[in-house]
Structure 1
Amino acid sequence: MKKLLLVSLLYISTFAAATEVRSIRTSNDFVEIGNSQAQVQSKLGSPSSTNHYVLRDKQDRPRAATDLAYTVDNEKYIVTIVNGNVYKIEWVR
């Protein structure tokens, strides 16, 4: 019974996963890794929500990060901003 519950939870959790992508296509442009936060907001507008936190980079140094949540063509994306530029883009399924 415990194994069945564990397998069920694992199966359900895969549907809520996010996939890292390289860009978001807007109606007439792209938002890509490396774009500035100003470019993102000019192309996508105001985010539906923001989250500020500390992120550790590949060298294990702390960095101030901001997640900006957007919905583009009924698809949800989280754009992570570090040092004023796009660090990561996640497509949330």
Structure 2
Amino acid sequence: MNRHPFRWGSFGSALFFLAAIGQWAVWREDLLTPRQLSLTAASVLIVLGVLGVAATLWQSRPTPPRQSPAADHTPGPAPTYEGDSHDQAAHPNA
């Protein structure tokens, strides 16, 4: 089984929609004042923005090259391909 990479876009979208549904529920039940609700919305968007910037910086940093176990061995002869051979029948002017 292969492990898939974490998808930041899906995570951010899920948090955004969760915040929107939470705000709707808070507004409907009148748990917060409009000012408190607007501050909550602003703080959620700021947190999502910071997470987005952090994810972008995390993905853009260079990764060191990996050494394979076969890299420690001495290389064998170079493989020859069809185009590398000089055949007189194929190139009569050569």
Please tell me the TM-score bracket, short chain as reference. Answer: under 0.3
Q: Which has the larger radius of gyration?
A: 2
Q: Which has the higher strand share?
A: 1
Q: Which has the higher helix share?
A: 2
TM-score (norm 2): 0.20
TM-score (norm 1): 0.20
